[in-house]
Amino acid sequence: MDDSAPHPVRTPVPLPLREPREPGESHTSHDASGPGDAGPPHESGEAAGKEDRGSPVGRRVVLGMLGLGAAGVAVGGDIQDKLDSVLASVSAKDPTGVTGLLPGGGGFRFYSVSNSIPHRAESDYRLTIGGLVDKPVSYRLSDLRALPQVRMVRDVQCVTGWRVPHTAFSGVRLSTLLDAAGVQSKGAAIRFTCFDGVYTESLTMEQARRPDMLVALTMNDKPVTDAHGGPVRLYAAPMYFYKSAKWLSGITVTKDVQPGYWEHYGYDVDGWVGKSNGRHDDPTS
């Protein structure tokens, strides 16, 4: 671990200024993670006032708890459920946002820019499609499950460097939902919103209509967990993983691209793996 590098989440403002990065990862020129420390203000007042914000205690708890989770892998069982509750308690203590290696997650790192792991019961979940469409609609999870499902296996690539090979996602093609909603001619982009109340993402209409853009209901053939953004997350296969908005709750057709959360901090709006953010990773699909 390289402790000499400034740790991105240990800052005096109540928001992660850039994505937390792996221990030891350097902070230099090809830094794709944003324009530096000039972060915009954070709307969630809840996290801001907490005394233990950014304290080392939070970090120790994260590591300790994740270690506990890793032990759980060996015995199998409801590891993901345990992990979700573990991460929930951890993130309550570290409102700058939590990242950690997910035990049993094959190398996935957990990210949430909100100070929690949002949970939505299946029966309460809704995905609304609106904006410049002829037929705005609100889908229940059961409605989404009843639509044609597509399964894809690709690598996942985060812009901070980590990559998880051969990850399966399945769900409904975004294009299927857009067709059903009837996109109006002036609708040229999509804005995604999330029930964490903070995160947003965007795609152009052309990108959104690609066959490898999914509204994902499963990840590695199990329902998307809370930690991974369940019950429904976006899976933008050919793009860096920040495009894959977790806890997806809204799809709004807009006239122009409205840059998403990380894009306000300098990430590329067109987040093609290997062709953006100054990176040269192998394509994921």
Ligand X SMILES: Nc1nc2c(c(=O)[nH]1)N[C@H]1C(S)=C(S)[C@@H](COP(=O)(O)O)O[C@H]1N2
Footprint on this chain of ligand X (rule: CB under 6 A)? 19, 108-113, 158, 194, 196, 199, 228-229, 241-242, 244-247
Q: With contact defined as beta carbons under 8 Å apart, do 245 and 114 qualify? A: no
Residue with Cβ nearer ligand X (199 or 272) = 199
Closest separation between CB of residue 184 and ligand X, Å?
A: 27
Residue with Cβ nearer ligand X (118 or 131) = 118
| Residue 100 interacts with, from Mo ion, ligand X, none (CB under 5-8 Å by kind) | none
The Cα–Cα gap between 253 and 187 comes to 6
Length of the chain: 285
Question: In Å, what is the CA distance from 54 to each residue of 38, 41, 114, 153, 204?
Answer: 18, 16, 14, 37, 36
The Cα–Cα gap between 96 and 10 comes to 8
**Residue 90 touching Mo ion (CB under 5 A):** no
Which residue has the CB atom at the shortest distance from Mo ion? 158
| Residue 228 interacts with, from Mo ion, ligand X, none (CB under 5-8 Å by kind) | ligand X
Contact region with Mo ion (CB under 5 A), list: 57-65, 155-163, 182-190, 229-237: 155-163
Q: Specify the 3-state DSSP secondary structure of 149.
A: coil
Residue from 242, 261, 265, 267 binding Mo ion (CB under 5 A) = 242
Residue with Cβ nearer ligand X (183 or 277) = 277
Q: With contact defined as beta carbons under 8 Å apart, do 266 and 17 qualify? A: no
